[in-house]
Structure 1
């Protein structure tokens, strides 16, 4: 039996007396595109922080490809094949676009830290870095400081860094936040391309993105998953409409129909 790409069991997180994640159970299969939605304050980012190792669970289990990772450091989880982005762009602003992506590529090709190594001589690193930059449309900006990129390109760069490490499970936290309609369309196409054959878990507020990209959707409300299912099931779930989607679901359904 193939292990789940990600499996959460009775996962809880308390901050003092406040229970933010309240016993979450969730299985995500390899290759699945899974969206987690919910109102502000539902605990979505906290859940991502528990999965990626930024927070240690108060109790419960987090398994990556069948291996327990709850409580492990983020770098160790990353080396086991999980990578994530953040709500706010998390790039090396003073490094060039190429250098940002190259950092992820170095690890994926098995190069550890060595202060005497001339990175410019590592042809496989240079080749893969160039391929990733070309695939995301940033090759012509490779030598720019990352801080000079427009906002949408900074988000694109973060996705490039996320995939550069070669992870099989990718977490994206609101990747289209703050983007225009055209920028969102471009980002969605990029995410589809970049995560082909991988497991994608995405937190996203744009319901058009969610319903058109996800294989399954989980709805998180006050730290609990109240529904999980295919987009069509989530659209029609009265609990979901009441707790979160409301009229927005009707609008989206009319737009997609």
Structure 2
């Protein structure tokens, strides 16, 4: 029997006297699409930063496919098969769109940094980069500096970079933040395509996106998970309605309650 893709065991994080994450326990199965929701200040991005190694844990343990990753650096965790995006776009603004994606592709195909290697001669890298750009709809903008992309395209580029590394576990932090309705619809289609056959952990405020994408949802409030379950269970949970969803739950499209 395979271990869970991600397992959090009694995870805590404090900044001085402030307790931000308080004893989170969570298992995410391989291939599952799992969303974390909660009010502003609940600790969602902090939890992401703990899992991906950006922050160190105050207590507890995080496992990736059964291997303990607590205490490892972000690049080490990435090379073990976990890739993430950030709430604020985190791209190489002065590089082209193609170069941004190619950075992720290089490491996924086993090419480390080497100043004497001509990247242009690596046909398989060029082909995979072009394939990813085509999949996300950015191939026609491949030679533009990333800084010149519209906001929604920058978010799309970040998703492309996230999947370029070939990780089996993908973490997306607010991927549709600031997008219009049509841009959000396009982003959801992209996320569904990118996450096919992989494990997805997503933090998202748009409940239409959450209830449309997720197999299971966890609700984080004041650093504690108060409920985990299928979308229909979460929508009908009185604790979740009181703490977060409220009447919005009645208007969310998706799985019937």
- Same fold by TM-score, threshold 0.5 exceeded? yes
For the 8 Å contact 2:211–2:254, the answer to whether it is kept is: no
Q: Which runs of 4+ in 1 moved over 3 A?
A: 253-257
- Alignment of structure 1 residues 1-257 onto 2, 5 Å: 1-252=1-252
**Aligned alpha-carbon RMSD (Å):** 1.2
Higher deviation after alignment, 139-148 or 245-254:
245-254
For the 8 Å contact 2:218–2:225, the answer to whether it is kept is: yes
CA displacement at 1:141 relative to structure 2: 0.3
Cα distance between partner residues in 2 of 1:142 and 1:128: 13
Say which SS state the counterpart of residue 246 (structure 1) adopts: helix
Cα distance between partner residues in 2 of 1:230 and 1:46: 23
Normalised TM-score (structure 2): 0.98
CA displacement at 1:247 relative to structure 2: 1.4
- Which consecutive residues of structure 2, in runs of 5 or more, have no partner in the other structure? none
Q: 1:96 to 1:226 in 2, by over 3 A?
A: same
**CA deviation string 1:134-175 (max 9, x = no partner):** 000000000000000000000000000000000000000000
Cα distance between partner residues in 2 of 1:121 and 1:254: 47
Normalised TM-score (structure 1): 0.98
Cα distance between partner residues in 2 of 1:71 and 1:174: 25
Cα distance between partner residues in 1 of 2:5 and 2:214: 16
Aligned length: 257
**CA deviation string 1:4-32 (max 9, x = no partner):** 00000000001001110000000000000
**CA deviation string 1:53-103 (max 9, x = no partner):** 000000101000000001110000000000000011000000000000000
Cα distance between partner residues in 2 of 1:229 and 1:239: 13
CA displacement at 1:253 relative to structure 2: 5.2
